[in-house]
Structure 1
């Protein structure tokens, strides 16, 4: 592993990636997706981010290669692109929530994917949704 201070190109790449994370609504979306794949309406219900802003932030997350999409009929599902993104979001949640005070606490907090507070579908979608 190369240290960031040893590689300017890597430092530039890290800064660009951090810029994508460094927006409150995008962090909220990523945190929501940490709990599993969601539709736009499910993300909207969970985060209370209005539709125009939500669409804009999801587009930024797609451009930043932090989320991926899957289409099923007319529904578009969003999910984190990989385990690295999930690890980064879990780390931020653990560190900035004040839940950890040591490296071992952090290791424990990020070892398991966070499935607390899953987002439940609302309305007719809740009735019609088939769980996998």
Structure 2
């Protein structure tokens, strides 16, 4: 079973994402910020990561930059899930190593579509 890490400071968003991912037959784990997510990845690198942009301690962009420098950190498919709709910000996330970008609020169809495009479904 594939593993997806959901990284968001909102417990509600993590819960919604977990339900969507479990319906898609992913094993899931959660982190409330980039620091917690990076610690998780150092012990068990997931197949996919859904990550928010704005979080305390370490935001999504900082997390992504750190992740891609970790051993095996180039492997996970990283999908930014953020309220940012500025094309420059989206381009920035992709330039830093994000594979996909989803606008909040998201639903199961868009998550399935993006993960399918990344070859995980």
Is the radius of gyration larger for structure 1 or structure 2?
A: 1
TM-score by length of 2: 0.29
TM-score by length of 1: 0.27
**Larger relative CO (CA 8 A, sep 6+): 1 or 2?**
1
Give the structure with the higher percent strand. Answer: 2
Give the structure with the higher percent helix. Answer: 1
